[in-house]
Amino acid sequence: MTCESPDSAADTTNNMTASRYAILFEPLRIGPVTTRNRFYQVPHCSGMGHRRPQMLAAMRGLKAEGGWGVVCTEYCSIGADSDDGHYPHARLWDEEDLKAQALVAEAIHAHGALAGVELWHGGSTVSNLSTRLPTLGVRSLPATHSTLDPIQSRPMDLADIRDLRRRHRAAAERALQAGFDIVYVYANHGYLLHEFLSPRRNDRSDHYGGALENRARLVREILEDTREAVEGKAALACRFSLAAEEGGDYLETEESRDLFGLLAELPDLWDITIDGYTTEMGSSRYVKEAAQEDIVKQAKAMTSKPVVGVGRFTSPDTMVAQIKRGALDLIGAARPSIADPFLPNKIAEGRPDEIRECIGCNLCYAHNSLGVPIRCTQNPTMGEEWRRDWHPERIPARHAEARVLVVGGGPAGLEAARALGQRGYGVTLAEAGEELGGRVTRESRLPGLAEWSRVRDWRLGRLAEMAGVETYLASRLDKAQVLELGAEHVILATGARWAKDGVGRWLAEPFEGWQRDAVLTPDDLMDGQRPEGPVLIYDDDHYYMGACVALLLRTAGQAVTLVTPQGAVGHWTTYTEELSRTNARLIEEGVELITNHGLVGFDGESARLACSFTGRERAQPAAAVVPVTRRIPEDALYAELRDDSEGLAAAGIRSLQKIGDGNAPSTIAAAVYAGHKAARELGANIAAFDARRERAVLE
């Protein structure tokens, strides 16, 4: 009888895993180029674009290092009349833009991946606020940009169309000069070419409007022009949307398939999405993994060319099944590649359990929409690859042999403990409660937020592998205990609690009656408290919590009224592409919505509301009130320790800091980032913003 060593057992497991997922690593020919595997980072926004080319190149290059076979740019403007204002998109207008894009392509090529560029004209969607050029469109339409600028497009005449074709071809030629291997024609998402395809937008009477063939003419011509420009040097890709059974935003179901059939063999690759952005970019609250399979599979059946499709894929088994079922040829990803740029390598190396799975919160998308670099709840290094030289898999070794005490096992504390353990410190993690995860654990039990538990679970999985990290539950520490534990560095991640006084954006002082027992907080509800009678939720937070606690109560059968000073519930979720779905869900579940009103009083039987504009008051029956307005940092322990400098010195504590919600309440992403930053910079004496900046060139 022979005994297998632990190393050989691990090798056997890795070999079995590699065999199981071998299909994901088969090369695939795409026109004149070949991708090394089936992992394809589809074009996605970055918040970097033409404003931050070095940040952008480092971020895209790191994905190639992580094993993605193809890495694409975000939408890349072909000219100054395709200017999306505060969104920092990519550009290929001239030679200076060519240099910036060459930097991106070079970074991708450095790790053996193919580089793709998505050429783009915004049409009526954009406002050209920076360039101040007239917007061009299939007809004169108001700008559909999220800012709803009071601008309309100019209908394109035949000369405009000829000029567009010329400029698109010139951009394709610049893309070749920059070194791109795949060049896109972008025909969906409501932009110019999609306008021409759509009978809802296109009412032209010339040979670019009317019949199906006419509406497809411009896309066909630009595909043919681009083919001539890149023939034999780069692959030609086309991004296109098919409508679901209920129809799409721009095309009806059958018509979208008929249009696709007219173009099916023209490009070398099809990048297929669903004609409905709230589904394609849907958060995990509403859209689950592989939700677009049926749509992508229909396109796959209609063409002989390779097809890439997305579905927020995080499970290797799901990826394999997609290919084996003939749904697609390439595993497309945007958000999963942000959450874990090394996802392909982890599968290849037999470590799929280490994948940092996307939680579908859409914080990445939100920050691009705000005009700043994307960030990620799961991956705190996203956006910091060039600026701070952070790597998602590597971290500097400890600066000295030292023990670190982390107080609080929420998202900030877990990430701090994990990253400190990775650096090689001895870590004690003390959590006051009976379970780890803090707000992540509590909030993931709310309707729709189950996948958010991945933030906790991934970190617990890594901590379980670290012998140098000790975790203690039910350990609420006071000042004396902290001083006695013998740690040289103390990091407090003690979180925050929801306030019940209603103070927030709309109210500067507490509402009348806020001290009543029937005034509860979201924390009370998450702890299991349930009021009797009709409940009024006052949402001045404008993110997800107000809607989630409303649904929590409503699905339990309680009458719920949700009041907000804004014009829609969850106003900020317009950036996460959840606003419409959230309000529709609340209405469907029978939650009464009262918008443009604030809470000014509660007497135990009714709430007093005031119009946000006129101040006119009205009464709303309510037996209980739940304000969702602000959170208060739990920082008393920090204050006690900070004010006892002699005690800290006597205990040998060299550094003390508070992080996450206990320092400044914000998103879970901000808490994870704070934990990572504290751990990565321990012992380095780095200023709060000691980072490289992209600077304008002054001539």
Low-confidence ranges of the chain (pLDDT < 50): 1-5
Within a 13 Å sphere around the CA of 44, how many CA atoms are in the beta-carbon half?
A: 28
Tokens 């129809």 sit on residue:
247
Q: Which CATH code, of 3.40.50.720, 3.40.50.300, 3.40.50.620, 3.20.20.10, is assigned to 403-494+636-680?
A: 3.40.50.720
DSSP labels, 382-420: TT-TTTS---SS--PPPSSS-EEEEE--SHHHHHHHHHH
pLDDT at position 697 is 73
Crossing angle between the packed helical segments 217-230 and 158-178, to the nearest 10 degrees: 30
Find residue 35's DSSP bridge partners.
Answer: 28
Contact 531, 623 (CB under 8 A): yes
672: phi then psi, degrees, rounded to nearest 5? -60, -45
Q: Count other Cβ atoms within 10 Å, centred on residue 685.
A: 9
pTM recorded for the entire structure: 0.96
Report the alpha-carbon distance of residue 653 to residue 518 in Å, rounded.
Answer: 44
Cα-atom radius of gyration of the chain, to the nearest Å? 27
DSSP labels, 474-499: S----HHHHHHS--SEEEE---EEE-
pLDDT at position 144 is 80
Name the H helices within 179-252: 192-197, 212-215, 217-230
Domain ranges of the chain: 16-369, 403-494+636-680, 498-632
Instruction: Look at phi and psi of residue 303 and say left if phi exceeds 0, alpha if psi is from -120 to 50, else beta.
Output: beta
Query: Which tokens in the block code for residue 231?
Result: 């023939």
DSSP labels, 118-132: EEE--GGG---TTT-
Q: What are the Cα distances from residue 60, in Å, to 100, 115, 274, 483?
A: 13, 9, 25, 45
pLDDT at position 687 is 74
pLDDT at position 2 is 36
Contact 594, 609 (CB under 8 A): yes
Among 109, 107, 114, CA closest to 72: 114
538 tagged catalytic: no
Q: H or E element: which one contains 551?
A: helix 545-554
Q: Count other Cβ atoms within 10 Å, centred on residue 479.
A: 17
Q: What is the CATH number of domain 498-632?
A: 3.50.50.60
Report the alpha-carbon distance of residue 276 to residue 245 in Å, rounded.
Answer: 11
Contact 63, 341 (CB under 8 A): yes
Report the alpha-carbon distance of residue 138 to residue 196 in Å, rounded.
Answer: 6
Supply angle C-alpha 219, 220, 222, rounded to 5: 65
- What is the SS3 assignment for 293-324? HHHHHHHHCCCCCCEEECCCCCCHHHHHHHHH
- Residue 660 DSSP code: G
Q: Residues 184, 186, 191, 286: which is the catalytic one? A: 191
Q: Which residues contact 588 (CB under 8 A, 6 or more apart)?
A: none
Find residue 119's DSSP bridge partners.
Answer: 76, 185
* CATH superfamily ID and name for 16-369: Aldolase class I (3.20.20.70)
Report the alpha-carbon distance of residue 79 to residue 174 in Å, rounded.
Answer: 12
Query: Which tokens in the block code for residue 125?
Result: 């969607």
